[in-house]
C-alpha cells in the first residue's frame, strides 16, 4: 500500500480561518478581543522559532498577542510573579510558559501557578483532571494531541469503536493526553514506551499508531500494520550534510519526525509528514484554545473545532 500523506498544514489553515472568523464575531458581539501571552525564559533558538510562530499566528487571527522574554537566569519567584500578573490581566485570556524551563525553575510549580481558565496548554491539574474524567468539553486539551486527534478523526471517523490505538511515548504533554482522547473516542488503547517488550510487535497491532518518542525516524515500516493510520508527533532537527554547510561552518540541518516516512508509507494507509503534519496543527489548536478562553471569559458558548 502507498499511503496518503495527511496535510496538517492545510487542515491547520482551515482551523485558523475559522478561529479568525469566530474572533471577529466575538469582538462584534461583546467587544472582547482574545489575548494570548507567551512567556519564554532564556534564548533557546528552537523555542524562539516556536514562540515567534505562535505570536505571528495569533496576530493573523486578530488576537492581541504579547510575548515576555525573561533572562535564562530568571528566578522561579520572578517567573511566578509574572504569571500572577498575567493571571490578573483581564485582556489576557490564554497564558502559556514555553517549556522546557532552565534547571533552577520547578516546571510543575510554574504550570500550577497558571489560572486554569487561562491554561490554554492544558498542562495544569484542573485541565488534566477534566480530560481524564471525561469532562472534555470543559477541558483545555493539550494542543499537540488535540491537533493529532482532529487529523485522526478526519481519516478514521469520530467513533473509533473496535479500533486499536498504540501511543508510543508517555509524556504528560503528548502521550498521556493522546491516550485519553483516543479512549474517549472508544478506541482500545495501549501506551507503549522505551521499556515495552517487543515494541515493533506491539505497534504492528495498531490500527492507529501515534509516535511521540523523540527518536529520529525510529518507527520504520517494521512497526506498521498494513492499512494503519500513522501520526508522527516527533520534531527532530538532524544534521543534513547533503545540504552543505551553513554560515557558522556546521552542516545544515533538516527536520525529521519519529517515523521513517518512506518506509512507514509502504505499509500505512495514511501518514502525517514532518514538517507539515502535527506541528502546524499544534499552533492552530493553541489559537482555538485561546479563542475558547476568550468566549468563556465573555460569558459566551465557544464554537467547537
Ligand X SMILES: Nc1nc(=O)c2c([nH]1)NC[C@@H]1CN(c3ccc(C(=O)N[C@@H](CCC(=O)O)C(=O)O)cc3)C=[N+]21
Which of 98, 119, 207, 267 is labelled catalytic?
98
Interaction between residue 98 and ligand X (CB under 6 A) = yes
Q: Is 53 helix (H, G, I), strand (E, B) or coil?
A: helix
Which residues between 180 and 209 bind ligand X (CB under 6 A)? Answer: none
Contact call for residues 208 and 152 (beta carbons, < 8 A)? yes
Cα dist. 296→23, 186, 301 in Å?
Answer: 12, 28, 6
Which of 119, 121, 232, 258 is labelled catalytic?
121
Q: Which stretch binds ligand X (CB under 6 A): 72-80, 93-101, 161-169, 190-198?
A: 93-101
Q: Which stretch binds ligand X (CB under 6 A): 58-66, 90-98, 156-164, 263-271?
A: 90-98
Show the cell assigned to 221: 515500516
Q: Is 135 helix (H, G, I), strand (E, B) or coil?
A: coil
Interaction between residue 79 and ligand X (CB under 6 A) = no
| C-beta of 160 vs 213, nearer to ligand X | 213
Interaction between residue 255 and ligand X (CB under 6 A) = yes
- Confirm whether residue 53 is marked as ligand binding: no
**DSSP E strand stretches across 42-160:** 64-70, 94-97
* Residue 121 is a catalytic residue: yes
Contact call for residues 66 and 34 (beta carbons, < 8 A)? no
| C-beta of 23 vs 110, nearer to ligand X | 110
Which of 54, 118, 163, 267 is labelled catalytic?
54
Q: Smallest distance, Å, CB 98 to ligand X?
A: 5
Name the pairing type of β-strands 229-232 and 164-168: unpaired
Place of cell 510558559: 97
C-alpha–C-alpha distance, residues 68 and 174, integer Å: 25
Question: 3-class secondary structure for 182-194?
Answer: HHHCCCEEEEECC
Residue nearest ligand X, Cβ-based: 279
* Residue 54 is a catalytic residue: yes
Q: Which stretch binds ligand X (CB under 6 A): 13-21, 156-164, 222-230, 275-283?
A: 275-283
For residue 288, what are the contacts with CB-CB under 8 A and spacing of at least 6?
15, 19, 146, 305
Total binding residues toward ligand X, as defined by CB under 6 A: 18
Q: Is 44 helix (H, G, I), strand (E, B) or coil?
A: coil
Give me the residues that bind ligand X (CB under 6 A), please: 49-50, 53, 96-99, 121, 143, 235, 255, 274-276, 279-280, 282-283
Binding region for NADP(+): 169-171, 235
> Which residues are annotated as catalytic?
54, 98, 121
Amino acid at each position: 500500500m502507498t499511503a496518503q500523506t495527511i496535510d496538517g498544514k492545510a487542515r491547520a489553515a482551515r482551523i485558523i480561518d475559522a478561529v479568525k472568523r469566530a474572533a471577529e464575531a466575538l469582538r462584534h458581539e461583546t467587544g472582547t478581543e482574545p489575548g494570548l501571552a507567551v512567556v519564554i525564559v532564556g534564548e533557546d533558538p528552537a523555542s524562539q522559532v516556536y514562540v515567534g510562530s505562535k505570536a505571528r499566528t495569533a496576530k493573523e487571527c486578530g488576537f492581541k498577542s504579547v510575548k515576555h522574554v525573561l533572562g535564562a537566569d530568571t528566578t522561579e519567584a520572578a517567573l511566578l510573579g509574572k504569571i500572577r500578573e498575567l493571571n490578573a490581566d483581564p485582556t489576557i485570556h490564554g497564558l502559556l510558559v514555553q517549556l522546557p524551563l532552565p534547571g533552577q525553575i520547578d516546571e510543575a510549580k510554574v504550570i500550577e501557578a497558571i489560572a486554569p481558565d487561562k491554561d490554554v496548554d492544558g498542562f495544569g491539574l484542573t485541565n488534566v483532571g477534566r480530560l481524564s474524567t471525561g469532562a472534555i468539553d470543559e477541558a483545555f486539551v493539550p494542543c499537540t494531541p488535540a491537533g493529532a486527534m482532529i487529523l485522526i478523526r478526519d481519516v478514521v471517523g469520530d467513533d473509533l469503536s473496535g479500533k486499536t490505538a498504540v501511543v508510543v511515548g508517555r509524556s504528560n504533554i503528548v502521550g498521556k493526553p493522546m491516550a485519553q482522547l483516543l479512549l474517549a473516542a472508544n478506541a482500545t488503547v495501549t501506551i507503549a514506551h522505551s521499556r515495552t517488550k517487543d515494541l515493533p510487535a506491539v505497534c504492528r497491532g495498531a490500527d492507529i499508531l501515534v509516535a511521540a518518542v523523540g527518536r529520529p525516524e525510529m518507527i520504520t515500516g517494521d512497526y506498521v500494520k498494513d492499512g494503519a493510520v500513522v501520526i508522527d508527533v516527533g520534531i527532530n532537527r538532524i544534521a543534513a550534510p547533503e545540504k552543505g554547510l551553513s554560515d557558522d561552518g556546521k552542516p545544515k540541518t533538516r527536520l525529521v519526525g519519529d517515523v521513517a516516512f518512506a518506509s512507514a508509507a509502504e505499509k500505512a494507509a495514511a501518514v502525517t509528514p514532518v514538517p507539515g503534519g502535527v506541528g502546524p496543527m499544534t499552533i492552530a489548536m493553541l489559537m482555538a484554545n485561546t479563542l475558547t478562553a476568550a468566549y468563556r471569559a465573555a460569558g459566551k458558548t465557544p464554537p467547537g473545532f
